[in-house]
Amino acid sequence: MQIARRTSDIRPFHVMEILARAQALEREGRDVVHMEVGEPDFPTPPWVVEAALAAIQGGGVKYTPAAGLPELREAIAAYYGQRYGVRVEPRRVFVTPGASGGFLLALGLSVEPGAGVALADPGYPCYANFVRLFDGVPHLVPVDAADRFHLSWERVSHYWGGGMRGVVVASPANPTGTLIEPGVLRELIGFVQERGGFVVSDEIYHGLEYGAASPTALEFSDEVCVVNSFSKYFGMTGWRVGWVVVPEGLVAAAERLAQNIFISTAMPSQVAALAAFAEENIRELERRRGLFRERRDFLWAGLQELGFGIPARPEGAFYIYADCGPFSRDSQDFARSLLEETGVALTPGLDFGKHRPEGFVRLCYTAPLARLAEGLARIGGFVRGGPGG
Amino acid sequence: MQIARRTSDIRPFHVMEILARAQALEREGRDVVHMEVGEPDFPTPPWVVEAALAAIQGGGVKYTPAAGLPELREAIAAYYGQRYGVRVEPRRVFVTPGASGGFLLALGLSVEPGAGVALADPGYPCYANFVRLFDGVPHLVPVDAADRFHLSWERVSHYWGGGMRGVVVASPANPTGTLIEPGVLRELIGFVQERGGFVVSDEIYHGLEYGAASPTALEFSDEVCVVNSFSKYFGMTGWRVGWVVVPEGLVAAAERLAQNIFISTAMPSQVAALAAFAEENIRELERRRGLFRERRDFLWAGLQELGFGIPARPEGAFYIYADCGPFSRDSQDFARSLLEETGVALTPGLDFGKHRPEGFVRLCYTAPLARLAEGLARIGGFVRGGPGG
């Protein structure tokens, strides 16, 4: 069988190579500090577990409506009112198999073959691959610390024209953890919409901010697709439940698409997600957010002390994008050597785009403080030991 | 926001209208016999439930590898050896969010924009919509009772050329419940492969056969994609776990695509699926298969007694595609009137293609025998009451 061309444009993640090597080292008995995987280390909270157990017992696990359990759609819609003061009709909310399913819907609804889509570089690599899946053309727009690593209308305007049809924005951002300024987001949405383009806003790290909270793109326009998930703030990765809010005019099309490409999202996971909005659960999540903030502060200070550059303050998610230029001219080489010599796993910049990836590595603070301290000590020994890489 | 053209080609299912009206009647206090929904009525078996409960307790619900839990991939691969005597390497098995996810992978890997894909008409409507999702062109090939409602190389050859690049075959078939003959399947695969085309075989109703069992397309070629699921024979609809077996040459591309578009399938659902292969569970599923066979026999005989035509013996799945021509010239009208007057819900042929849909309705035997008897009695009263529709 021949492979569709789109697929050969989709590259594997380099972090997978790092992860596989880290696991091989562990099988050999080495202790590995994992700072490469963007998965919170906390278990699913007990109230959420209880709700899922109750739903499963007796075996009544059936298809739900394609757009999700009505009570879950209502809870998500209500969350926009509570958290952002934004009115969202439940009919605009589609529950999906993870945020991944949300991107399938949002970009399947938006991307024509050949259409250009602007993406921040560095950025989350899957955006470009979702665009390729629908035979669109990802345009990687270089962003820097001066932009807080975010798109802006000025940046995008240099690339607009020539078939450009939309943008994906993401704040807090992966890999940098930086937040887009509300005014910058508002102007970017305005710029794109004036040109008839589409906006998809990835808000999966909302709730994991350590200073000011992020605004939702829905505060500035109803004519955007907003993707979110229960994986990060709600800490429910393995359950695979996300959602997308679509403009009113896309509701019918989203419904048809969801019926065809999902049928529905796993029912136990949806019931679990509904329980995640309970007050006592939100208290626990806020406690965890406090722990993430401590880790961020610790790692941020410690890396700078060792001589890493962190050009834009990471204010959300659980990532630090650190300039390893003082120690190596090749971040992939740096990451490999660090893993072999010290057993610390992190992700080379190459996974996040083409704009100076050789200068950066991403570190996740999804491990307890003691493990981060151990990792930092090993990194310190490594970079002080010589030129590295 | 504008909608991508592909989406406007995706039509809603007429059964949704029937289902919505049936639920409205129920809210008014009417008793409705549901013969419109293709979802088994049995609960998840207790062993499967127990496995899921154990996996959830403690909250360690995390991402799995993108291709699925290794032990589940191994169990699925082993199942091909036990059931079909076919050797499948676990690395060729990808666990997906339902069979829907399997079609996303298989067709995302295969369908170039503009590529023609041959589909049986009548057939499952989602195939055409998956093809449209990837900007391919579905070619509906009319099939009849003489073909047992299946594609054959002769049928397909009339349509080959002009950009035709592949076929989707499905046996047991929806909506007809008919099985493709092994020789016909083998020759069809040969015909398409000689012309460099791709074959996707939908085997989600395998295991639900009431005479001879279906062969898997993998018995005739390793160079096909085979989609299957835990929803039908294993009765696990709401868990949303399926799989796809891909040719060795597509493994790396499937891995990259799965990493990007799923991240992984819900972990509790995967653990539940693994338990579904236990011997005691298979015994229970075989008991259920016996019940489905009884229902098939009952409904098949009863409908013919009433004067419906059933031109090809339904030998699998849980569907009967009945010719309602003796009672109505418009099956959609027939379905609507039947529901309003008698409270029996079934699906008009229009959902399954363009080849004589006005002459047929689909009935599901996913309800207990007593309910099917009640439904049949009401249908009898309706068709004897006058010209109907």
Domain CATH for A30: 3.90.1150.10
Q: Which of A120, A132, A86, A322 is nearest to A202 (CA)?
A: A120
Cis? peptide before B172, omega within 30° of 0: yes
- Both B120 and B31 in one domain: the answer is no
CA A127 to chain CA centroid, Å, is 10
d(CA B97, nearest CA chain A) in Å:
7
B7 touching A (Cβ < 8 Å)? yes
How many independent structural domains does chain B possess?
2
Q: Identity (one letter) of the amino acid at B368?
A: P
For residue B264, list chain A residues with Cβ-Cβ distance below 8 A.
238, 240
| pLDDT score recorded for residue B332 | 95
B17 touching A (Cβ < 8 Å)? no
For residue B250, list chain A residues with Cβ-Cβ distance below 8 A.
1, 3
A272-286 pLDDT, tens digit each: 999 999 999 999 999
d(CA A383, nearest CA chain B) in Å:
32
3-class SS of residue B322: strand
Q: Identity (one letter) of the amino acid at B302?
A: G
Q: Which residue bears the tokens 């887009």?
A: A180
A229 touching B (Cβ < 8 Å)? no
* Rounded Cα–Cα distance for residues B48 and B230 (Å): 11
The answer to the question of residue A103 being in a domain is yes
Task: Provide the domain limits for residue A236.
Answer: 61-278
Of A108, A196, A256, the CB nearest to B11: A256
DSSP state of B304: H
Q: Which two tokens stand for residue B236?
A: 């696990």
Of B59, B110, B265, the CB nearest to A240: B265
β-strand partners of A140: A119
Cβ pair B266:A239 closer than 8 A: yes
- Both A146 and A274 in one domain: the answer is yes
* Rounded Cα–Cα distance for residues B9 and A103 (Å): 20
Cβ pair B43:A59 closer than 8 A: yes
A65 touching B (Cβ < 8 Å)? no
Cβ pair B238:A97 closer than 8 A: no
- Both B79 and B199 in one domain: the answer is yes
Confirm if B378 and B343 have CB atoms less than 8 A apart. Answer: yes
Cβ pair A259:B100 closer than 8 A: no
* Rounded Cα–Cα distance for residues A178 and B191 (Å): 55
The answer to the question of residue A52 being in a domain is no
* Rounded Cα–Cα distance for residues A15 and B29 (Å): 57
The answer to the question of residue B89 being in a domain is yes
CA A263-A267-A272 angle, to 5 degrees, is 140
Of A52, A237, A267, the CB nearest to B63: A237
Confirm if A240 and B263 have CB atoms less than 8 A apart. Answer: yes
Q: Which residue bears the tokens 């349509």?
A: B159
A137-142/A225-229 β-pairing? unpaired
Q: Where a domain ends, among B227, B262, B278?
A: B278
Does residue B27 carry a pLDDT above 90?
yes
- Both A152 and A237 in one domain: the answer is yes
Please report which helix (H) or strand (E) contains residue B164, including its range.
Answer: strand B164-170
A344-345/B319-323 β-pairing? unpaired
Of B3, B108, B240, the CB nearest to A265: B240
Confirm if A172 and A214 have CB atoms less than 8 A apart. Answer: yes
Confirm if B339 and B22 have CB atoms less than 8 A apart. Answer: yes
d(CA A386, nearest CA chain B) in Å:
36
A20 touching B (Cβ < 8 Å)? no
- Both A195 and A216 in one domain: the answer is yes
| pLDDT score recorded for residue B386 | 53
For residue A112, list chain B residues with Cβ-Cβ distance below 8 A.
4-6
- Both B235 and B286 in one domain: the answer is no
d(CA A304, nearest CA chain B) in Å:
31
Cβ pair B259:A5 closer than 8 A: no
Q: Identity (one letter) of the amino acid at A387?
A: P
| pLDDT score recorded for residue B161 | 84
Give DSSP secondary structure letters for A269-307: HHHHHHHTTSHHHHHHHHHHHHHHHHHHHHHHHHHHHHT
Q: Which of residues 22 through 41 in chain A touch B, CB cutoff 8 A? A: 39
Q: What is the ipTM of this complex?
A: 0.95
| pLDDT score recorded for residue B13 | 85
**Total beta-carbon pairs less than 8 A apart between chain A and chain B:** 251
Cβ pair B236:A1 closer than 8 A: no
d(CA A307, nearest CA chain B) in Å:
33
Cβ pair B264:A240 closer than 8 A: yes
B13 touching A (Cβ < 8 Å)? yes
Please report which helix (H) or strand (E) contains residue A158, including its range.
Answer: none
B256 touching A (Cβ < 8 Å)? yes
* Rounded Cα–Cα distance for residues A273 and A75 (Å): 10
A164-170/A198-202 β-pairing? parallel
- Both B110 and B258 in one domain: the answer is yes
Please report which helix (H) or strand (E) contains residue A339, including its range.
Answer: helix A331-342
Q: Where a domain ends, among B211, B246, B278?
A: B278
A234 touching B (Cβ < 8 Å)? no
B112 touching A (Cβ < 8 Å)? yes
> What is the number of other CB atoms lying within 10 angstroms of the CB of residue B277?
17
Confirm if B54 and B267 have CB atoms less than 8 A apart. Answer: no
Q: Which of B352, B388, B389, B346 is nearest to B365 (CA)?
A: B346
Contacts of B30 (CB under 8 A, 6+ apart): B343
Average pLDDT of every residue of chain B = 95
For residue A347, list chain B residues with Cβ-Cβ distance below 8 A.
none
A337 touching B (Cβ < 8 Å)? no
- Both B244 and B295 in one domain: the answer is no
For residue A241, list chain B residues with Cβ-Cβ distance below 8 A.
266
- Both B139 and B253 in one domain: the answer is yes
The answer to the question of residue A50 being in a domain is no
Question: Could you give the residue ranges of the DSSP H alpha helices within chain B?
Answer: 5-8, 14-27, 46-56, 70-84, 98-110, 126-133, 153-157, 182-194, 251-261, 267-275, 279-306, 331-342, 369-384
B211-247 pLDDT, tens digit each: 999 999 999 999 999 999 999 999 999 999 999 999 9
* Rounded Cα–Cα distance for residues A349 and A324 (Å): 10
B129 touching A (Cβ < 8 Å)? yes
Q: Where a domain ends, among A243, A278, A313?
A: A278
- Both B15 and B114 in one domain: the answer is no
For residue B63, list chain A residues with Cβ-Cβ distance below 8 A.
39, 237-238
Q: Which of residues 199 through 218 in chain B touch A, CB cutoff 8 A? A: 199
Q: Which residue bears the tokens 């493990």?
A: A371
Q: What end-to-end distance do the CA atoms of chain A give, in Å? A: 41
The answer to the question of residue A99 being in a domain is yes
B263 touching A (Cβ < 8 Å)? yes
B55 touching A (Cβ < 8 Å)? no
For residue A252, list chain B residues with Cβ-Cβ distance below 8 A.
12
Cis? peptide before B122, omega within 30° of 0: yes
Confirm if A262 and A120 have CB atoms less than 8 A apart. Answer: no
Q: Which of A269, A340, A351, A324 is nearest to A101 (CA)?
A: A269
Q: Return the C-alpha torsion angle A362, A365, A367, A373, nearest 10.
A: 90
* Rounded Cα–Cα distance for residues A111 and A109 (Å): 6
The answer to the question of residue B346 being in a domain is yes
pLDDT grade for B1, boundaries at 50, 70 and 90: confident
Does residue B12 carry a pLDDT above 90?
no
Please state whether the predicted TM-score (pTM) of the whole model is above 0.90: yes
| pLDDT score recorded for residue A386 | 53
Distances B319 to B148, B301, B346 between C-alpha atoms, Å: 14, 14, 11
- Both A265 and A327 in one domain: the answer is no
Confirm if B234 and B204 have CB atoms less than 8 A apart. Answer: no
Handedness of CA B256, B260, B265, B266 (dihedral sign): positive
Residues of chain A with pLDDT under 70: 386-389
Of B60, B262, B269, the CB nearest to A43: B60
Q: Which of B144, B99, B97 is nearest to B123 (CA)?
A: B144
DSSP state of B222: S
Does residue B307 carry a pLDDT above 60?
yes
The answer to the question of residue B39 being in a domain is yes
Q: Which two tokens stand for residue A365?
A: 């603070």
* Rounded Cα–Cα distance for residues A204 and A173 (Å): 9
Q: Return the C-alpha torsion angle B113, B119, B125, B129, nearest 10.
A: 0
Cβ pair B97:A126 closer than 8 A: no
B255-277: average pLDDT: 96
Of A57, A257, A266, the CB nearest to B238: A266
Phi, psi for residue B361 in degrees, rounded to 5: -130, 150
Confirm if B306 and B70 have CB atoms less than 8 A apart. Answer: no
For residue A57, list chain B residues with Cβ-Cβ distance below 8 A.
49, 53
As a whole number of Å, the CA-based R_g of chain A is: 21
For residue B108, list chain A residues with Cβ-Cβ distance below 8 A.
4, 6-7, 133
A130 touching B (Cβ < 8 Å)? yes
Cβ pair B7:A253 closer than 8 A: yes
| pLDDT score recorded for residue A313 | 94
Q: Which two tokens stand for residue B378?
A: 């009401």
Please name the residue of chain B whose CA is at the shortest distance from the CA of residue A110. Answer: B4
From edge to edge, which strands make up the β-sheet containing A137-142? A93-96, A242-245, A225-229, A198-202, A164-170, A116-121, A137-142
The answer to the question of residue B52 being in a domain is no
Give the CATH number of the domain where residue A86 resides.
3.40.640.10
Most distant CA pair in chain B: distance in Å? 62
- Both A112 and A176 in one domain: the answer is yes
d(CA A18, nearest CA chain B) in Å:
14
B236 touching A (Cβ < 8 Å)? yes
B109-138: average pLDDT: 96
| pLDDT score recorded for residue A389 | 38
Indicate the range of A53-67, B4-18, B46-60, B337-351 predicted with least confidence.
B4-18
